[in-house]
Amino acid sequence: MVHIALFHSVLGLRPAELLAAERLRGSGHEVVTPDLFGGEIASTLDEGFRLVDRIGWATVLTRARQALKGMPEEAVLAGVSMGTGVVSDLLPERPATGAVLLLHAVVDLPASARPGLRVQVHAAEPDDFASPERMGALHGSARKSGAALEVFRYPGAGHFYIDRDLPDHDPAAAELTWQRVLDFLR
């Protein structure tokens, strides 16, 4: 069993993250899905970015830290789109993190990421949040830190392809993603 903190997208804590957590729990894992927006949700990315601006990134991170209290230091940090930024900001504070899972977006790994840290990425291709420039920066930061990076791209899928409630949903890509995630967590 693995302990996992799953941080939601800029749209807020929605059924996509809750269903993902249930799927992970169904495989025997302990999962927390903190509500970083205090119950608020957005229906578009622009609305979500305005929500983050209004709530404040510091508040988002404070809520994420609260969710991690009591979790083992080796818990897996997972982020969906905006949640990958939360993972990146919290990782330096949690050097014993067991693994990192980045869904729908990529971020640079902090310089303090430990050698051998397992990092798995799942992103549509093309996707502005996982652009060639961002992917290159991630590969560079993984090389510098010695992280074990594994990247999966899903050609033709939309940005939020795991979210069955959005037009981006791609059932085949979503299923393949969850199979690969479950293998990663074994």
Q: Residue 125 forms beta bridges with which residues?
A: 155
Query: Which pLDDT tens digit goes with each residue over 101-124?
Result: 999 999 999 989 999 999 999 999
- Dig out the tokens for 57 from the structure: 């990134």
Alpha-carbon distance of 11 to 44, in angstroms, equals 7
pTM: 0.97
CB 14 within 8 A of CB 46: no
Query: Which pLDDT tens digit goes with each residue over 62-105?
Result: 999 999 999 999 999 999 999 999 999 999 999 999 999 999 99
